[in-house]
Amino acid sequence: MATATVPKEAINVYNRALELANRGEIEKSLEEYRRAIQLHAGFVEAYNNIGEIYSRMGKRDLAIASYNEALKFDRNGRVLLNLGVEHYNGSDYGKSLQFFKESLAVAPDLLEGHFYTGLVYYNEKNYREAEPYLKRVIGMDRKHLKANYLLSHIYYEQKEYQKTIACLDNIRDIADDKSFVSRYYGFCHYYLGNFDLAVEHLTQALHLKPEYKKFKKYLAGLTYEKRLKEIGDVGKAIREMEGQMMKGEPQIAEATKLSMLYIFDGQNQKAEQLLLSLKQKLAS
Per-residue pLDDT reduced to its tens digit, 56-66: 999 999 999 99
Give me the helix-helix angle, 44-56 and 26-39, nearest 10°: 160
81 located within any domain: no
Q: pLDDT tens digits, residue range 177-221?
A: 888 888 889 889 888 888 888 878 887 877 665 444 433 333 334
Q: How many domains in the chain?
A: 3
Which range marks the domain in which residue 167 is found? 101-175
- Measured CA to CA, the distance from residue 52 to residue 69 in angstroms comes to 13
94 located within any domain: no
Determine contact, residues 253/281, Cβ cutoff 8 Å: no
Same domain, 271 and 204: yes
Domain boundary residue among 157, 175, 193?
175
- Measured CA to CA, the distance from residue 78 to residue 146 in angstroms comes to 20
Same domain, 160 and 208: no
Q: Can you give the pTM of this predicted structure? A: 0.76
pLDDT band at 168 (very low <50, low <70, confident <90, very high): very high
Same domain, 203 and 226: yes
SS3 state at 129: helix
pLDDT greater than 60 at residue 126: yes
58 located within any domain: yes
Same domain, 56 and 117: no
Same domain, 171 and 187: no
42 located within any domain: yes
SS3 state at 232: coil
83 located within any domain: no
pLDDT at 282: 62
- Lowest pLDDT segment from 140-149, 158-167, 264-273: 264-273
Same domain, 166 and 201: no
- Lowest pLDDT segment from 98-107, 189-198, 237-246: 237-246
Name which residue leads in pLDDT, 278 or 198.
198
Interior angle at CA 85, CA 81 and CA 88, nearest 5: 135
pLDDT band at 119 (very low <50, low <70, confident <90, very high): very high
45 located within any domain: yes
Same domain, 270 and 202: yes
Domain boundary residue among 147, 175, 203?
175
Determine contact, residues 71/80, Cβ cutoff 8 Å: yes
Same domain, 164 and 187: no
Domain boundary residue among 175, 194, 229?
175
Q: Is the dihedral of CA 41, 45, 46, 47 positive or negative?
A: positive
Q: Is 170 exposed, middle or buried (0-12, 13-18, 19+ CB in 10 A)?
A: buried
Same domain, 116 and 161: yes
167 located within any domain: yes
Same domain, 240 and 272: yes
Same domain, 168 and 229: no
Same domain, 118 and 187: no
Q: Is the dihedral of CA 90, 91, 95, 96 positive or negative?
A: positive
SS3 state at 284: coil
CATH of the domain at 168: 1.25.40.10
- Measured CA to CA, the distance from residue 208 to residue 263 in angstroms comes to 14
pLDDT at 70: 96
95 located within any domain: no
